[in-house]
Structure 1
Amino acid sequence: MKKYLLSFALAFMSISAFAQADYEKIMTEKIAKLETCKSAEDFQVLVNDFHRIAGKEESKWQPYYYTAFSFIQKGRVMMREGKMDELDNIAGQAQKYLDAAQSVDPKDNAEIHLLKKMSYSLRMMVNPQQRYMTDGTKAAEELKIAEKLDPENPRIALIKAEDTYFTPEQYGGSKTKGIEMFKQALAKFNAYTPKTSLDPNWGKSEAEYFINQPAK
C-alpha cells in the first residue's frame, strides 16, 4: 500500500511539474510578443491570449497583470492615433484585471500599482482639463505608492520620464529633462533583475528609443 501511495505521489508530482513547465513556456512566448506588437489589434490578440491563461491559472497574478498591461498598451496606441472614445472602456477593463491580480497577490505589489497609474492616466487623457483633479490625482497617488514600494524599479522611472517628456513646458514638463530621466531609467534597467522569469521586465527598449530622440 505504501509503495502504491508513493508511486501515486511521484506521478502527481511529475504531472504538476509538467503543467508548471508548460505554463511557463506559454507565458514566456506570449510575454515576448509584447515587444513586437505595434497595433491595437496586435495587443487585443494578446489580451485574449492572457485572458485564456488567467482562466486556467486563477491562483497566479501574472496572467491577470499581463492581460491588463495588454489592454493599457492597446489604449496607448489608440490614444496616439487620436481614438479617445474607447479609452474609458479600455481603462475599465484593465482595472478589472488589476483588481483580480491584487486579489491573488494581496501583498503590495509595485508593478500592479504602476499599471493602475497608467490606467488612470489613460482615463485622464480623454479630457485632461476636466479629469486632472480626479483621474490625474489617482494616477499620481498610485505612482507614489509604487515608488515607495520599489524605488529602484526601472519601469517607475520610465513612466515618470514619459510624464515629464510629454507634459507641456507651461505645466512643468520638459523634453530635455525627460530625456535625462530616460537615461536614469536606462541605468536602472541595466542594474535591475526581475524576481522570476515571468515577472514584468518591459520598458528598456522604450527608454533607449527616447534617449536617441533629439530634444526640441
Structure 2
Amino acid sequence: MKQLLLAAAIVCTVAAQAQSDKYTAAMQQQLQKFDSAKTVADYENIAAAFQRIGDAEKTQWLPYYWQGIALSRIGWMYFPDEKGVTAVKVSDLGSTVDALAARINAIADKADAVAKDNEAKSEILTVRNMAATQQMIVDPQSRYMSYGAQAADDLQKAIQLNPNNPRAAYLQAMSVYGTPEQFGGGKDAAKPLVQKAVELAKAEQVKPLHPRWSLEQSEKVWATYQ
C-alpha cells in the first residue's frame, strides 16, 4: 500500500513539473516575441497567446498581465508619433481607445482575481493606469476629471502596495513630466522622480517571467537631463 501511495505521489510530482515546464516555455516564447513586436498585429497575436496561456493555467496572473501590457502598447500606437503616424483615424481615436481600455481592464480583473500578493497587484494597477491615461489624453481638457482622476488613483494605489515598483515610479515620473508647469508639473518637477525610477529599476532583482520593463524607458528620459 505504501509503495502504491509513493508511486502515485511520484507520478503527480512529475506531472506537475511537466505542466510547470510547459507553462514556463510557453511564456518565454511569447516574451521573446513581445520584445521584437512592432505592429498592432504583432501585439494582438501576442496578447491572444498570453490569454490562451492564462485561461489554460487558471491560477497564474502573469499571462493576463502581459496580455494587458501588449494591448497597452497598441494603445500608444493609436496616438500620432513624432512623424504623425498613427494606427487609427483621428476621428476614431476616442472610441477606439475606450474600447481597448475596456478590454485591458477586463483582463486586469482576471489577473487581479488570481494575484496573491501586493507586488502582483501593484503591477496590475500600472496596467490599469496606462489604460486610463490613454483614455485621458484623447482629450485632456474634457477627460481629465474622469479618466485622469482614475489614472492618478490607480497609480497611487500601485505605489502604496509596492513603493519599490520601478514601473509605477516611471509612470509617476511621466505623469508629472507631461503635466503643465502651471499645474505643478513639467520636466524640472519630474527630474527627481525620473532619477528615482532609474535607481529602482537598476536595483530590481527581476524574477523569471515577471515584469521587467521600465529601465530602458527611464534611462531614455533621464538622458534628456544630462
Same fold (TM over 0.5): yes
Aligned to 1:30: 30
2:200 corresponding residue in structure 1: 188
Higher alpha-carbon deviation: 100-109 or 87-96: 100-109
Q: Which residue identity is paired with 1:44? A: E
**Count of equivalent residues:** 214
The answer to whether the aligner puts 1:93 opposite 2:108 as a matched pair is no
Residue 110 and residue 24 in structure 1: after superposition, are their counterparts in 2 closer, same or farther (change >3 A)?
same
Which moved further from structure 2: 199-208 or 93-102? 199-208
Identity %: 28
Contact 1:165 1:178 in 2 (8 A): yes
Of 34-43 and 196-205, deviating more is 34-43
SS of the aligned residue for 2:36 comes to: coil
Q: CA deviation at 1:179?
A: 4.7
- CA shift at 1:144, angstroms? 0.9
For 2:198 and 2:34, locate their aligned partners in 1 and report how far apart those are by CA, in whole Å: 19
Separation in 1 of the partners of 2:117 and 2:217?
Answer: 28
**Structure 2 residue aligned with 1:210:** 221
| Aligned-residue offset at 1:156 | 1.1
**Deviation string, structure 1 residues 40-77 (Cα, Å, up to 9, x no partner):** 22211211110111121111111111111111111012
Which residue does the alignment assign to 1:2?
A: 2
Aligned to 1:14: 14
Q: Answer yes or no: is the 8 Å Cα contact 1:47–1:71 preserved in 2.
A: yes
Structure 2 Cα separation of the partners of residues 212 and 41 of structure 1? 31
Separation of aligned partners in 2, 1:162 and 1:124: 14
Give structure 2 stretches of 5+ with no counterpart. none
Q: Residue 168 of structure 2 corresponds to which residue in structure 1?
A: 156
Are 1:199 and 2:210 an aligned pair?
yes
Q: Could you tell me which residue of structure 1 aligns to residue 185 of structure 2? A: 173
Structure 1: which amino acid aligns with 2:214? G
- How far off its partner does 1:138 sit? 1.2
Equivalent AA in structure 2 for residue 126 of structure 1: V
For 1:107 and 1:99, locate their aligned partners in 2 and report how far apart those are by CA, in whole Å. 15
Contiguous gaps of at least 5 residues in structure 1: none
Alignment of 1:131-142 (within 5 A): 131-142=143-154
Shift of 1:214: 6.2
**Equivalent residue runs for 1:10-159 within 5 Å:** 10-80=10-80, 81-82=85-86, 83=88, 84-85=93-94, 86-105=96-115, 108=118, 109-159=121-171
- Letter of the 2:164 counterpart: E
Structure 1 stretches of at least 4 aligned residues deviating more than 4 Å after TM superposition: none
Query: Once structures 1 and 2 are overlaid, which stretch shifts more, 66-75 or 162-171?
Result: 162-171
Alignment TM-score, normalising by the size of structure 1: 0.89
**In 2: Cα distance, 1:129 partner to 1:183 partner:** 29
What's the TM-score, normalizing by structure 2? Answer: 0.85
- Indicate conservation of the 8 Å contact 1:179/1:210, yes or no: no
